[in-house]
Amino acid sequence: MKKIVILISGRGSNMQSILEARLPLEVAAVISNDAAAGGIATAKKHGIVTRVVDHRAHADRAAFDAALGAEIDAFKPDLIVLAGFMRILTTGFVNRYRGRLINIHPSLLPAFTGLHTHRRALEAGVKLHGCSVHFVTPELDHGPIVIQAAVPVLADDSEDTLSARVLAQEHRIYPQAVRWFCEDRLSITPHGTVTLKAVRGADGVLLSPAIDS
């Protein structure tokens, strides 16, 4: 069974969706850069080990990333899951975990990288918005995409209503992406795209779409 470590900075709603999905994996720890993060209490309620690595206690980003990496490595995870972790990671840190570091972003990448995605989607007048799970690379919000979900942008949408509709989809697709990784079904091609191994039934029949238990 594979082990994951989840990194959070706030309430950890995507973390909670992963915990409640009861996936075939071990959540070895939840680590936050903020001792006041609401998600720490949620993790403890689920019986998950929690740690805090406060970025403010370190001289610079590289020093923080080194301390964070040491904490992560103590749990020997197969996958590191960024679930609302609001720190830009150094290239060295990202390369250290390349291929086993994933993130969820509230837009249909490569559109609207960075912050304030819902506001920018409304200002741009797009008709579809959504969220993406991707492998993390040194270029911010540009890693290979695992799965996306799209929602319509309604004429009377505000940032709050659009955000809530997208968040509901985040809670659907992030556990799915984590499951696929832990089932060894994801591969990154030489072209930097992600392929998903198909599921075959016990009799060798190809199932499409895949049926996840």
101-150 per-position pLDDT tens digit: 999 999 999 999 999 999 999 999 999 999 999 999 999 999 999 999 99
Domains of the chain and CATH, by start: 3-188 (3.40.50.170)
Cα separation, 110 vs 57, whole angstroms: 33
Q: What is the pLDDT of residue 200?
A: 67
Pick the range with the lowest mean pLDDT from 90-99, 159-168, 189-198.
189-198
If we measure between CA atoms, which residue out of 179, 181, 200 comes closest to residue 24?
Answer: 179
Could you tell me the sign of the dihedral formed by the alpha carbons of 74, 102, 143, 10, in that order?
negative
Of residues 178, 99, 183, the one with CA closest to residue 143: 99
Is 142 known to be catalytic?
A: no
Phi, psi of 67 (to 5 degrees): -65, -40
> Cβ distance 178 to 19 under 8 Å?
no
What kind and span of H or E run contains 77?
A: none
Which position among 105, 118, 134, 171 bears the catalytic label? 105
